[in-house]
Amino acid sequence: MAGQKKEVRSGVWKLRVSAGKDPVTGKYIYVSKTIHGGPRLADQELAKLVVSAKNERGSGILLGRLFDEFFDFCDRSGLAPKTIFGYREIARNHILPSLGGRSIEKLSARDLDELYRRMLDVGQSTSRVHHAHAVLSRALGQAMKWGWVEKNVAKLATPPTVKHAPAVAPTPEELGKILTAAWERSPQLAAVFAVCALTGTRRGEALALRWSDYDAVTKVLTVARSVGYTPKDGIYVKSTKTHSVRRIAVDENLEDVVISQMNALRKNIELGFELVSDPFLFPGSPDGSSPLHPDTPSKLFRKVCDSLGLPYHLHQLRHFTATELIAADFDIRTVGGRLGHANSSVLLKVYAHRLEARDRAATEYLSSRVFMPKSIDRT
């Protein structure tokens, strides 16, 4: 990076130094300066300009520009629309207002730590801050792969520790009241709630069920897809959260729910609708070709709980499944398999309080099986 100097007229020098290629456009970036004086002064100023250009190299890429390129990359990479929507939302609301104008080369771990502190100061949860940290880490990691930065400063930052609150779920009695009240408003949505509670499926997984997912011979329900929604993409069907397929045994109660929904849709044939070959179990259209909007059951569940004075939301039916099975002493692998957890560590964190209760019961059981000598003195 030697630079160039040219005397454009007597005592007037044009200095020009290359600051390298713009990694996005591929075009060379030049830093220029005009000075007045003799050749020695021109050489001195050119040396300074070389140092300045070196410091500027790569600093022209702002974090806001990186996120624009990163989101385009995410769109092309096949990432789930809801995931990209979440990335955009947290970047727009928390990251870019503070750091969008900062150069990615000059961004420091302290800048990120300050962002995390400000988020906590305005009442954001530790999990929300961790989400922002994860988005920053992924975007800066991609910038490093592209050669835009030499290191990912997010790896050096220190987000706050996420505190896992104990999972709260309705009791069987409360769930009975919820299902009864829901049935009066919408039998279809009451059936959605019943499937979520009986299987532990996520909301989107329940809504993605099709008639072919129920095997009446083997009494098995296959969970292979999930329904999602974003304002940009609308309602769409994707793979499950863990990209896995799981099979859940069906008992008489669950079978009644499934068959009742099939029969309800068949009634539309009498109204002149022709059903598609493999309808959704909980359709959002008369012919069964499209699923319910994911927000529809969530909103009704919240309204029903509010009317009953209960503090629950739809996802807590999944907690109901887990807590009831753990309380009944089913092993973690069985519970995790039913819920579709990739590993048991999530269960151990979220349901630690329930597991502690089982551990106490285990202690009491072992104590009843061990006969201690009467000579032990506790005084």
Which CATH number fits the domain that encloses residue 245? 1.10.443.10
Residue 144, domain CATH: 1.10.150.130
- Both 136 and 276 in one domain: the answer is no
Nearest to 104 by CA among 132, 142, 143, 130: 143
Q: What's the confidence (pLDDT) of residue 92?
A: 93
- The 10s digit of each residue's pLDDT in 168-185 is 889 999 999 999 999 999
- Both 307 and 336 in one domain: the answer is yes
Which structural domain, as residue segments, surrounds residue 151? 63-156
Domain-located, residue 352: no
Q: Total domain count for the chain? A: 3
- Both 138 and 191 in one domain: the answer is no
Q: Does 279 or 46 have the greater pLDDT score?
A: 279
- Indicate if the pLDDT at residue 249 is higher than 70: yes
Tracing tokens 């030697």 back to the chain, one arrives at: 2
b/e map of 30-66 (b: 16 or more CB within 10 Å)?
Answer: ebebebeeeeeebeebbeebbeebeebbbebbbbebb
- Both 74 and 122 in one domain: the answer is yes
- Both 79 and 228 in one domain: the answer is no
Last residue of a domain, one of 156, 184, 205: 156
CA distance 77 to 84: 11
- The 10s digit of each residue's pLDDT in 89-127 is 999 999 999 899 888 988 999 999 999 999 999 999 999
- Both 38 and 111 in one domain: the answer is no
CA distance 297 to 309: 18
Domain-located, residue 375: no
Domain-located, residue 162: no
Confidence at 341, pLDDT banded by 50, 70, 90: confident
- The 10s digit of each residue's pLDDT in 285-303 is 999 999 999 999 999 999 9
Domain-located, residue 361: no
- Both 304 and 222 in one domain: the answer is yes
- Both 215 and 292 in one domain: the answer is yes
- Both 49 and 72 in one domain: the answer is no
- Indicate if the pLDDT at residue 349 is higher than 90: no
- Both 334 and 187 in one domain: the answer is yes
- Both 16 and 112 in one domain: the answer is no
- Both 250 and 341 in one domain: the answer is yes
- The 10s digit of each residue's pLDDT in 23-33 is 555 666 677 78
